[in-house]
Structure 1
Amino acid sequence: MYEKYDINKFRNEIDYIDNQIIKLISKRMKIAKKIAKKKIYSKLEIKDCTREKKIFKKIQKNSIKYKLNILYIVNIFKIIIEYSKLIQKKIFFDIKNLSKKQYIAYLGPKGSYSYLATKEYIKKNKFKKMHKQDCINFQEVITKVEQEDTIFGILPIENKCSGYIQEICNLLFDKKIFIFDQIYIPINHCLLGNKNTKIQTIKKIYTHVQPFQQCKKFFNQFPKWKIRYVSSSSYGMKKIKNYPNTNIAVIGNEIYGKKYGLQIIKNNISNIIDNHTRFIIISKIENNIKIKLNFQTSIFFTINKDTSKLFKIFKEIKKNKIELQKIKVYPMKKNPVQDYFYLEMIHHKQSEKINIFLKKLEKNTIFMQYLGSYPII
């Protein structure tokens, strides 16, 4: 009984100390926020290597003084300091963008899947002052981000049914912008038309090229239909709304089809059930938050059509135990003797294995472009 009482007493003391540690860490982070604001005012960088060295020297000295394992204590403080830098980066990001227009660019007009993805991304991140800005094509989305007219742009990069969207990869190649984040949106392509439109009366279909690819199995049943490509699904819905006849139809989504006054002729016409599209969020700002286990890194690189070079690269991937999410190869339009590769790898750029691999990759390629590290969903 006495022993049990003693253990509980000691455990209570530990609980109290743990609580004090958490309070002190909280206090430390509040001071870190104040330092971040001072750094912004003084135009200083977040990372201060000289300061960090001094901190770790003191930590090592105090670890010896209090007879603690230096390695353990240093690792604990590495996590605390990393968390402190993460908080400071968030403040830098918020303050840096207060003066910018709080817009996110997407392929419009209102009602496209890009618009739905934009709405969902704003909602997910609880952006209170973020406004949506529609663009006429994907190039305009990228241009607005490049010229810093908007903080973010949103682009479809991969569809479960039709795979990677090469047009987006081509547009992103050799651009000084980053993939900041990503979001998945469920896709339910519908065949929409004006009132009294029946499948038997349809002669012409308006569609963006991507939805058409994702619904090819359905359209193969109607080889006589003429396909007219438009800049976006929402533009197609808007177009046929203004021409109220029964021989035209459009691929669109149910929600905005109704808002445009269109009726569903056929629901869920995708090649597969449970179709979805992965959208990337692009920015001039790099996502520098360091979370090794929940991030992925995207890059482009080009090489001559030389299998020995490619073999060396994949040997490095294996050697560094890098887990590939995706790998795509596309021909270079400007130079037919070269291919460009798009790679997605698990882990953040700042992780040791990715960092080492990228340095070696630079030596074995003609061109390498870091696209960003961003959260895995």
Structure 2
Amino acid sequence: MKISLFIAKRIIGSKSYKNSVSAPIIKIGIIAISVGLIAMHIAIGTGIGFQNKIKDKISSFEGHIRVSTYENNSTNTTLESIDPQMIRSATETERISFVNSVAYASTVFKTDKNFAGGLLKGIDSTYRWNTFEDYLIDGRLPDIGSLISREILLSKHIARTLGVKTGDRVSSYFLFEDRLPIRRSFVVSGLYDSGFPDFDQRIAFADLRHVQKIYQWPTDQVGAFEITLDNFDDIHQFSEEVYDQVPAPYDVQHVKERYPEIFNWISLFDTNIALIIVIMIIVGGINMITALLVLILERTQMIGLLGVLGMQQWSTQKVFLYNAAYLIGIGLLWGNVLGLGLLALQHQTGWITLDPTSYYVTTVPIAFDVPMITAINIGTFVICVLMLLIPSLIISKVTPIRALRRV
């Protein structure tokens, strides 16, 4: 065993070490490392959790990329149909998880006493709901089979406005400038609540064939294609590739273009996370520097004795660096236990709630990013140890003769 490590272990294991003058300062240093790591865990876990949850919510409604015709309306209504053959080559790639064929139609939902404006999203039997079942709060998803289904999935918000529940009937009116309104009658199969007001206040799901008949489209044509990729980070590159391949009348937009304000907002979490990590590492490092300096000053006699015995300065420095590394490790251990424990508690219970109208989620979402967790542990340890190299040079100022005179 190396002599520096041996001496460091003896110091750590001694009773005098735990009852020394430096003990309270050492404890403060450990607490600073622990609190800093807890703050980093919370910042990363909640920040990435928010980003992932909001991305998943938007993607569960609209996919990652939408291919539709160029339309000059602000209602998302798909006024022109698309022939699936026109984009087949653009969507034949392994990077795509699935493609949904959909169509949107502005409508007015009405009961005997109430009405509400909305957007009917037409879906077919192959529609992939992805994570949407997580938002289902009552009933079930519409059953789309070989025959035209009369079932409709409403949001909790629309159902409350209309005063209906699962199993009730609701009428839907489609208005046109050049012809009479068209009425369709539906049975509410279920209710959803995503906590995302932009969607909950207007979107309902029903059989795509209703929209096709209303707009007098052929049965093989749809209003839009919603593409979901295996990797969300590919949307910029892939949307450009699809845009280059589809014919001129079609438009290609990814969700970041459709909802720039939301994605600009969640991108700020990256800056916040980086800032918190830097601040916490600096604070923890400064506290450990203080603890190391006190520990060195308390052990000047030992430093002098080691010098007389012929130990080199760097070997003596390593004694205290090993000591400090041990203290940093203790701080990281407690920081991981408490920080990850708090995140796990929130993940399992959702005890911290939020207003969905402001944050788009009902509880604080948590993500456990193992590579990031590993990186902040290693990074904190390495940076703090490197920060201690300069103050450890004070050992060179300790002369053996002066130190031993104090014995």
Q: Same fold per TM (> 0.5)? A: no
Name the larger-Rg structure. Answer: 2
- Higher helix share goes to which structure? 2
The structure showing larger relative contact order (alpha-carbon pairs under 8 Å, at least 6 residues apart) is 2
- Higher strand share goes to which structure? 1
Which band: TM-score by shorter chain? Answer: under 0.3
